[in-house]
Amino acid sequence: MLSYVGRRLALGLFTVWAVSVLSFLIIQLPQGDFVTTHMTELADSGNSSAVYEAERLRAEYGLDQPIFVQYFDWIGGVVRGEFGMSFDWNRPVADVIGDRLVLSMVVSVAAIIFTWAVALPIGVYSAVRRYSIGDYTLTFLGFLGLAVPNFLLALVLMYIGFAVFGTDVGGLFSAPYENAGWSFAKAWDLLKHLVIPAIVLGTAGAAQLIRIMRANLLDELRKPYVITARAKGLPERRVVTKYPVRVALNPFASSIGFLFPQMVSGSIVVSIVLSLPTVGPLLLRALQAQDMFLAGAIVLLLGVMTVIGTLVSDLVLMWLDPRIRHAT
């Protein structure tokens, strides 16, 4: 059991390291460095001391150092919580990101909760009433949910909300709460606004889970113990819920491993479409403005959060499923 935890932790750390290298790559890839961009601006405005200024800035930010020295400088700063400066905003990256990262995670978690809440009853229903009209309809809807890319779903929902109901479904807060401090009313407002993003993000995952749940439960329902239970006269509802559903439930917990990265990933584009105050729109703007420290920090933080989320779900799964706990 300890070795399992150890292996998971090691893999998590390795992933974090890989993400950090990739994020650094994203910072480094664009031609020239931010000083070049900055200098062009200065030269455009007729500043003659640009060359001297460039040398000074390069030295200050260590851009004249070899690449791996730069990487260690950067990662060392990250560990201390310093992500560098955002040149677009002219503020430290950590300030710019602020609580947007938390909101990104809130959106992703809400989407996962939605996914489970929808997939469990529908999966059970589809398995128990196999080949019924309801099963076919839900399976088809599931396929459709899987096929519609979530940002297109967001686009269409935005359009329907706007054209039919005359409301703007975007955003995470109503206007009065936007800059207000946290309060119960604000949290409630957030909750109401989370519904649309959760549906948009969760539909595809729910469709996947419904199919897994249905297949697992069908396998389970064929087993002799179910027939025995039924033969002994147990009410059908109890026959299904007492054991088969619980056994078939395991993939739900393990699904976090693939759901979470998917949700975080999807939340970026969906946030841009629905203009949610998460890191999504920030990342897009940073990339467009070549504000690479900000972009790199966002990619890194999203990766780290995903790894932590997956790790936690692995541990929960271990706690739930004795087969994993006792495997060596």
Partner 1 sequence: MPRDAVVDEERISVASQRQLIWWRFRKHRLAMAGAIIVLFFYFVALFGDFLSTSDPQASEGQRSLMPPQAVHLFEGASLSPHVYAVVGQRDPDTLQRSYAVDPTRRIPVRLFAHGYEYKFLGLFTTDIHLIGTEGTPAERSLFLLGTDQQGRDIYSRLVLATRTSMLIGLTGVALSIVFGVTLGGISGYYGGVVDTVIQRVIEVLRSIPVIPLWMGLAAAMPKDWSVTQVYFALTVILSVIGWTELGRVVRGRMMQIRREDFVTAAELVGSRPRRVIFVHMVPLFASHIIAATTLALPLMIVAETSLSFLGLGLRPPSISWGVMLQQAQNVQAVALSPWMLVPVIPVVVVILAFNFLGDGLRDAADPYDL
Residues of this chain that interact with partner 1 (CB under 8 A) are: 11, 14-15, 18-19, 22-23, 26, 29-31, 143-144, 146-149, 151-152, 155-156, 158-159, 162-163, 168, 170, 257-258, 261-262, 264-266, 268-269, 272-273, 283-284, 287-288, 290, 295-296, 298-299, 302-303, 306-307, 310
Q: Report residue 105 as tokens.
A: 């995670």
d(CA 206, CA 208): 5
Q: Report residue 308 as tokens.
A: 């932590």
Q: What are phi and psi of 91, to 5 degrees?
A: -140, 160
Report helix, strand or coil for 263.
Answer: helix
Residue 110 or 307 having the CB closest to partner 1: 307
Residue 149 or 176 having the CB closest to partner 1: 149
Answer whether 106's CB lies under 8 Å from 194's CB: yes
Contacts of 9 (CB under 8 A, 6+ apart): 311
Residue 144 or 231 having the CB closest to partner 1: 144
Q: How far is the CB of 159 from partner 1 (least distance, A)?
A: 5
Q: How far is the CB of 164 from partner 1 (least distance, A)?
A: 10
Q: How far is the CB of 157 from partner 1 (least distance, A)?
A: 10
Residue 156 or 247 having the CB closest to partner 1: 156
The CB-side HSE value for 218 (13 A sphere, CA atoms) comes to 14
Answer whether 206's CB lies under 8 Å from 114's CB: yes
Q: How far is the CB of 277 from partner 1 (least distance, A)?
A: 17
Residue 125 or 151 having the CB closest to partner 1: 151
Residue 251 or 261 having the CB closest to partner 1: 261
Q: Report residue 302 as tokens.
A: 């999203």
Answer whether 227's CB lies under 8 Å from 138's CB: no
Report helix, strand or coil for 223.
Answer: coil
DSSP 34: H
Residue 132 or 288 having the CB closest to partner 1: 288
Q: How far is the CB of 276 from partner 1 (least distance, A)?
A: 14
Q: How far is the CB of 17 from partner 1 (least distance, A)?
A: 9
Q: How far is the CB of 128 from partner 1 (least distance, A)?
A: 23
Q: Report residue 145 as tokens.
A: 């949910």
Q: Report residue 222 as tokens.
A: 């064929």
